[in-house]
Amino acid sequence: MLIETSIPFRYIFRKIKLDLIRVLIFSITFHIILIFFSSYLPQIPFQLPTVLGTSISLLLAFNVNQAYDRWWEARKVWGAIVNDSRSLIIQLKGFINNEHDLQGNSASILQRMAHRQIAWCYCLGQSLRGNNPITADVENNLSPENVDFIRTQNNKPFALLMLQMDDLKELYETEAINSFQQVQINSTITRLCDSMGKVERINSTVFPVTYRIFIHFFIYLFLIILSLALVETVGWFEIPILTLIASTFFLIEKTAKHMQDPFKNKPTDTAVTAIARTIEINIKQILHRPNVPEPLAPEGFYLM
């Protein structure tokens, strides 16, 4: 997540360097053609780029809006993960029957599940970004057996949720919770499983490819026609004007592209590691643990 401090100019323009160079090339080319072969260029009426500009602006604005919805949906799902992770631990704490607790057994299951929940959040975030999902944060919150187990599994966050389910079953079988409470906690874990599925869906569903290609193609068509229309009226001023206009369109297009895919290990990502840290802080406070960590600090102009 980009934060509201000064974003380096270099970071912004690196993204559209290639497109700008192309635009420069054809705008200079048209200029040269104009000087030498003036009569070969058609006299484009200015209304033509106007109508194309309106069309592409509309498509682009809708596209940004769809990308924004997708980005906001991803953020909402991670918000639900925060809520359900906290709820899971609060519910366990509220439901576990202390009297039936022989030798502090269910108390230790609560601790185990709470730490595994923290590990799950870190693991899911890394896994979505295509990084190694078993980081130090994950290992520190899991027993060595659990770590070994998930190494053998394809979908590691999903394997962790299965372990949560196994512990829930043990709590029920040792009568630390009743059937009614088991079903309620089961619902919470099912919601976590749903949230995981939702972010996996956003991550694995490519935004309709042809749609994006046609918008890109349409921007170029607009810029070429605009360049032809400008070159005859404003002369060499055409080059800086076209470059500025092209920058704006390409920057908006890139913004849409980044919002569409919020788990690509880029500065514009949803801040999943920071969110996992928040969950860790909240859960450790619920359990009155001493070693509550600090919130994640931003890395320069962004927060991961």
- Please, which residue, 17 or 211, has the CB nearer to a second copy? 211
Binding of a second copy by 197 (CB under 8 A): yes
Binding of a second copy by 147 (CB under 8 A): no
Q: Mask 154-193, x = binds a second copy (CB under 8 A)?
A: xx--xx-xx--xx-xx--------xxxxxxx-xxx-x--x
Concatenating the DSSP letter of every residue in 175-187 gives TSS-HHHHHHHHH
48: enclosing H helix or E strand: helix 47-95
- In the list 75, 112, 264, 289, the residue contacting a second copy (rule: CB under 8 A) is 75
Determine the Cα angle at 58 with ends 57 and 63, to 5°. Answer: 95
Fill in the DSSP letter of residue 205. S
Nearest one of 219, 176, 199, 181 to 80, comparing CA atoms: 199
- In the list 33, 221, 296, 304, the residue contacting a second copy (rule: CB under 8 A) is 221
Nearest one of 263, 258, 210, 239 to 59, comparing CA atoms: 210
CB of 213 to a second copy, least distance (A): 7
Q: Give residue 248's Cα distance to chain centre.
A: 23
Contacts of 29 (CB under 8 A, 6+ apart): none
Is 127 in a helix, a strand, or coil?
helix
Q: Which stretch binds a second copy (CB under 8 A): 23-31, 111-119, 139-147, 200-208?
A: 200-208
Nearest one of 150, 102, 94 to 122, comparing CA atoms: 150
- In the list 37, 39, 145, 210, the residue contacting a second copy (rule: CB under 8 A) is 210
Q: At what angle do helices 272-286 and 105-128 cross, to 10 degrees?
A: 170
CB of 115 to a second copy, least distance (A): 18
Q: Hey, which residues between 103 and 122 contact a second copy (CB under 8 A)?
A: none
CA gap 245, 241 in Å, rounded: 6
CA gap 267, 257 in Å, rounded: 13
Q: Which stretch binds a second copy (CB under 8 A): 30-38, 107-115, 125-133, 219-227?
A: 219-227
Binding of a second copy by 94 (CB under 8 A): yes
Q: Hey, which residues between 271 and 290 contact a second copy (CB under 8 A)?
A: 281-282, 285-286
What sign for the dihedral angle of Cα 158, 164, 165, 166?
positive
Binding of a second copy by 205 (CB under 8 A): yes
Binding of a second copy by 263 (CB under 8 A): no
Q: Mask 3-42, x = binds a second copy (CB under 8 A)?
A: xx--x----x-----------------------------x
CA atoms within 13 A on the CB side of 289: 15
- In the list 10, 21, 144, 209, the residue contacting a second copy (rule: CB under 8 A) is 209
CB of 49 to a second copy, least distance (A): 6
- In the list 18, 25, 32, 51, the residue contacting a second copy (rule: CB under 8 A) is 51
Q: Which stretch binds a second copy (CB under 8 A): 28-36, 118-126, 140-148, 246-254?
A: 246-254
Q: Give residue 304's Cα distance to chain centre.
A: 10
- Please, which residue, 23 or 259, has the CB nearer to a second copy? 259
- Please, which residue, 47 or 103, has the CB nearer to a second copy? 47
